[in-house]
Chains A and B, each alone.
Chain A
Amino acid sequence: MTHVRYIDRTREYYLSQGYDKPYRWAHFDKTPFTQLKKPLAESRVTLVSTSEIAVRNWDDQRTPLEKGEAANVYNVASDTPVEDLYSQTYDFDKHATTLDDVNTYFPITRMHEAAKAGYIGSVAPTLYGVYNAYSQRKTREIDAPEVLRRCRDEDVDLAILTPV
């Protein structure tokens, strides 16, 4: 079975709704690549997700945009119990599934299991959420460097990324 062509589908859908300027998805000729520097079993691993993962006991549940803040990157402590996590996003296939099981898009329990079993060295103290920006430039110039800075602060060796 062939996979869904989201780029074509969204272009056709928005054209049919009267938007005449199709969204230009990011595209590059070259792709950067870094080899692993140490074995998985010795590596500190973090998780980065655009699933709008949120923590139930945050005092303020508004997104940065709603608060008028520029920062799109936020921390989720990796020892947060999975029961305290949920997603605020609407951007998923609601006709087919739910986001009730956090590990289907933010595999925090699976990561801790892998660390316990010795497949990875450790789970980094902090995992990250990144809100989808309305600007690719902003993602490239502000959000991505911010994720890098925070990963370096915690000596992260590897990152697993989960878009929703």
Chain B
Amino acid sequence: MSLVARHLEANGIPTVIIGAARDIVEHCGVARFLFVDFPLGNPCGEPDKIAMQRAIFSKSLELLEKAEGPNTTIRAPYDWSRGQGWKDLIFTKEQPFQDANEEREWKEKKVLYRKLKAEGKT
């Protein structure tokens, strides 16, 4: 996603990323980044919390307008309402990101991608 944002910026379209993986986005480097410190999947606010979603969306517009240079990160002023426990176990043996079926599917897709690539289709 950061690569797409960079390409748009380089070609005259201002962008803002609303995202949760701060280290990944900042490692790549983008013009404007609204960091929302939530679990992957809900960067634009918690489910069914419309006022929060509106505030986060407004913040992204504000960032579009006010950023003066590249690599501008703002942290949205919210913490996940059910505590910070979700941060402890992500991507560990106790709580792998993909379960066995998902990992199998992911590997199958990778094989499919390599096959298409070898055939010159991708």
Contact = CB atoms under 8 A, between A and B. Distances in A.
B40 A161 contact: no
A91 to B, nearest CB: 7
A162 B28 contact: no
A116 interface: no
A55 interface: no
Categorize the interface residue count of chain B: 35 or more
Given A3-B23, A65-B113, A162 B18 contact: yes
Contacts of B50: 103
Contacts, number: 246
A72 to B, nearest CB: 9
B98 A158 contact: no
Interface in B1-46: 1-25, 27-31, 35, 37-46
Contact of B7 (A40, A119, A120, A147): A147
A136 to B, nearest CB: 7
Interface in B65-122: 65, 67, 69-71, 79-80, 82, 84, 86-87, 89-93, 95-98, 102, 105-106, 109-110, 112-113, 116, 121-122
Interface residues of A, number: 77
Contacts of B53: 103-104, 107, 110
Contacts of B21: 4, 6, 163
A66 B110 CA distance: 11
Given A70-B122, A148-B8, A161 B16 contact: yes
Contact of A32 (B20, B70, B92): B70
Given A27-B29, A101-B47, A6 B58 contact: no
Contact of B57 (A16, A93, A111): A111
Interface of A: 1, 3-10, 12-13, 16, 25-28, 30-37, 40, 48-50, 65-66, 68-70, 90-101, 103-107, 110-111, 113-114, 119-120, 130, 134, 136, 138-140, 143-145, 147-148, 151, 156-164
